[in-house]
Copies of this chain bind each other. A is one copy, B any other.
Amino acid sequence: MSSTTIRDVAKRAGVGVGTVSRVLNNHPSVREATRQRVEEAIAALNYKPNPIARQLSMGRSHNIAVIAPFFIRPSFVERLRGVDTVLAEHDYDLVLYNVEDQAKRDELYHVLPRGDFFDGLLILTLGPDDEEAERLQASGIPVVLIDAHHPRFPRVIIDDVEGGYLATRHLIELGHHRIAYISDILESPFKQVGASARRYEGYRRALAEAGIDFRPEYYRQDHHGVREAQQMAHALLELPEPPTAIFAASDTQAIGVLRAAEEHRLRVPQDLSVIGFDDIEVAEYLNLTTVHQPLFTSGVEGAELLIRMLNGETFDPETPVIQLPLRLINRQTTAPPPSR
């Protein structure tokens, strides 16, 4: 029970509360002798200031809300670690909100813009639609988007089109012509153009550039998940003229493709090439060729940006956009197509 208050300390040290407060916030104008006495009293009473009271009187909470979709597990945790690292360093507390479905999401977008409870808001992946953006902005609370796009907010992103292009290009250079793309549902349930749609664009561009006709039957979408991906790959491999390479919009989905290949007794990469996206941790253990995006770094950069905003730093007329580099990681699930 640390119900000792600043007044107790003041009394014990024989000073006024103001002085104790000054010692606490090491304000310069406190005589050394006085500071000593106060510090002794603090130690003697084992006094710890009440953060809530401090928050109330200072008008700032030192909390940062992080909205994140847990269901994209592997990549989300890496990002969160990045965020945590930075926030801890700057003494902000991380209040975490999980969004698993539309309802939860809508609720959060209604509830969170409370300038008096959060100093800032970090949104992972599930960016706002226009109306929500409006409301967020009206609330005046600083917001940074990580892995989400909205013109009105500072954000940390990757060039998904480029990523899709990179992956597809890699397959083309290996000699593939029959290249499929599987992804989660492009019209994302969360009312925004998702990453997969942009990766798809890169896919189409690479194809077009190489003069390869796009075949609608080589393109599938379903909810995100290993099982769903496995089924899509399955369908693909049963086509009269199956693809020789499959580009999955995420590593998680690539795992599903790998499983389907196994079912079909296809050797990877000899009979079928598979490439993923994200470079989550298991990708390495599965020897999955993939497009690496800096997940941890995205968290770091986003949090740092937010903190700079909180410190009153202002930016050019433009809202800052940090674009992180992508890199193809060539492991062992891609190879030239089977010759025949």
Q: Does A74 have its Cβ within 8 Å of any Cβ on chain B? A: yes
* Nearest CB of chain B from residue A234's CB, rounded to whole Å: 15
* Nearest CB of chain B from residue A229's CB, rounded to whole Å: 10
Proximity string of chain A (28-69) to chain B, C-beta cutoff 8 Å, 1 when within and 0 when not:
000000000000000000001011110110000101000000
A2-B116, A2-B139 given; A84·B70 CB < 8 A: yes
Q: Which residue of B lies closest to A262 (CB)?
A: B287
Residues of B within 8 A of A97 (CB): 88, 94
Count how many chain A residues have C-beta atoms less than 8 Å from C-beta atoms of the other chain.
43
Proximity string of chain A (131-159) to chain B, C-beta cutoff 8 Å, 1 when within and 0 when not:
00000000110000000000000000000
Residues of B within 8 A of A55 (CB): 52
Residues of B within 8 A of A115 (CB): 1-2
Proximity string of chain A (82-96) to chain B, C-beta cutoff 8 Å, 1 when within and 0 when not:
001100100001111
Complex CA gap A259/B281 in Å reads 14
Proximity string of chain A (103-129) to chain B, C-beta cutoff 8 Å, 1 when within and 0 when not:
010000000001111000000000000
- Contact of B61 with A70 in the complex, beta carbons under 8 Å: no
Residues of B within 8 A of A140 (CB): 1
Interface SS majority for chain A? helix
Residues of B within 8 A of A84 (CB): 70, 96, 98
* Nearest CB of chain B from residue A49's CB, rounded to whole Å: 9
Q: Does A315 have its Cβ within 8 Å of any Cβ on chain B? A: no
Pick the 10 closest A-B CB pairs, nearest first: A84-B98, A50-B116, A96-B96, A51-B117, A52-B55, A52-B56, A255-B285, A94-B96, A56-B56, A70-B81
- Contact of A226 with B73 in the complex, beta carbons under 8 Å: no
Q: Does A24 have its Cβ within 8 Å of any Cβ on chain B? A: no
* Nearest CB of chain B from residue A72's CB, rounded to whole Å: 10
- Contact of B70 with A98 in the complex, beta carbons under 8 Å: no
